[in-house]
Structure 1
Amino acid sequence: MSNHALAERHRLAELLTAAGPDAPTLCAGWTTRDLAAHLVIRERRADAAPGIRIGALAGWTRRVQDGYAERPYEDLVRLFRAGPPVYSLFALPGADEAANTVEYFVHAEDVARAGDDWTARPVPPGRSEALWRRLPLLARFEAGRHSPVRLTLARPDGRSLTVGPAGAPTVHLTGEPAELVLFAYGRGARTTLTVDGPPDAVEALRHVLPLP
């Protein structure tokens, strides 16, 4: 059975190694060193990981992450590449695949698309389908939760899903699942999506979520 999270982990580790510790990323304010430290504490520091999502705990998470960022960059990448330790929740059977396929794909693209000369790389068909299966939930809780307009996210083959406030004007975004996932996570400015809808609705969306 394919392990998309493992494949994306190795791809992300290679991108981090090639970029070096001081390269930009699409994570606002983070260099590759900051991203590597984030990846390590997320699966190795259970005391600090909740602050990634919970604002009240973010200060502690930031202090722990800053401490890890002072370590040798090569050590951070090596720890990430090695995978979760046995005491990590991500070491439970199936947890890495379920929780990290999208996480590592998005962060790999955070490194790959940070430069001005980025291009969208082909995604293996199986991984593309895995991203599509995860899109409805993350689109609802990421892009849909913030969008002032109705969003139709469509693949070139016609399959689509709709999220966002009912009754609002609809903006259609069309592209491969990988591009739709990146849009849902706020990376829409560095995608190849086609955007269509009433100009006022598109402009309202652009104020909240980046568009190409």
Structure 2
Amino acid sequence: MTHLAQLERDALCDTFVAMGPNAPTLCSPWTTADLAAHLVVRERRPDLAPGIWLPPLASRLESGMEEYAAKPWPELVELVRSGPPKWSPAQFAGVDDAFNFIEYFIHHEDVLRGDETVGPQRELSPRESRALWKMLSRMAKVFFRRSPVGVVLRTPEGQSLEARSATELGTVVLEGTPAELMLAAYGRHRVADLEVTGGESAVDALWAAPLGLT
């Protein structure tokens, strides 16, 4: 059975092919070519990748990404699709899933909803949905650690978890599928199909907070 990260990598590459290199993404001003270049650098260029997190190295990273983004589109997409190089620990399925499944899921949605369309643009398998909920169960407190309000995540099936303890500003309840909740956890709430319950000021405070891993 193909592991989840490779399934999502392949699905994203199929979408890249369908969309072309100049389509908008939620990572504006990046186009699909820019996003593909980011993914190649992240997996294949450890000499450039630190620029993603370290501002002093950002200019070198930007130059490297521009070189990849300028490659012929089929070549660039194939670099993404081929996955981690042989020397990478992510050659092992378990490592690839742990480090790359969510990365590719989020960026796939960045492309599918790049025109700011709200709600699902594809149907996920039960296996993928379970994996997303499992990741939320493990990481929700990290994703929402900077929320100034309490946060509870719920699915339509009745699953629930506390992502952030209640504060003096109150608690916001987010209900949606694991995919839509994951998008909210990564700061993509504007395109997520969610039922949001909470005071207006609490909801505004939540969406103004920097969510996700960064």
- Give the TM-score normalised by structure 1: 0.90
- Unmatched runs of 5 consecutive residues or more in structure 1: none
Q: Is the contact between residue 34 and residue 69 of structure 1 (CA under 8 Å) also seen in structure 2?
A: yes
Kindly indicate whether the alpha-carbon contact (under 8 Å) linking 1:138 and 1:184 is maintained by their aligned counterparts in 2. no
Report how many aligned residue pairs link the two structures: 209
Corresponding residue for 1:14?
A: 14
In structure 2, relative to structure 1, the CA distance for the partners of 1:134 and 1:56 (3 Å cut) is: farther
Cα deviation, residue 161, structure 1: 1.6
SS in 2 for 1:11: helix
Which letter does structure 2 place at the counterpart of 1:208?
Answer: A
Quote the Cα distance in structure 2 between the aligned partners of 1:149 and 1:160: 17
> Which SS does the other structure have where 1:151 is aligned?
strand
- Closer, same or farther in 2 for the Cα pair 1:175/1:119, shift >3 Å? closer
Change (3 A) 1:93 1:200: closer
Runs of 4+ with >6 A deviation: none
Describe the shift of the 1:85–1:72 C-alpha distance in structure 2 as closer, same or farther (beyond 3 A): same
Answer whether contact 2:48 2:60 (CA < 8 A) is retained: yes
Shift of 1:209: 6.0
Q: CA 1:164 to 1:58, structure 2 compared with 1: closer, same or farther past 3 Å? A: farther
Tell me which amino acid in the other structure corresponds to 1:17. V
Determine the C-alpha separation between the residues in 1 that align with 2:57 and 2:133. Answer: 31
Structure 2 length-normalised TM:
0.89
Question: Percent identity between the aligned chains?
Answer: 45
Shift of the alpha carbon at 1:138?
A: 3.6
Matched ranges for 1:38-187 at <5 A: 38-115=38-115, 119-120=119-120, 121-142=122-143, 144-164=144-164, 166-168=166-168, 169-187=170-188
Give SS of 1:148's match. coil
Residue by residue over 1:102-136, the C-alpha shift from the partner in whole angstroms, topping out at 9 and shown as x without a partner, is 11111111111112556512211111000111113
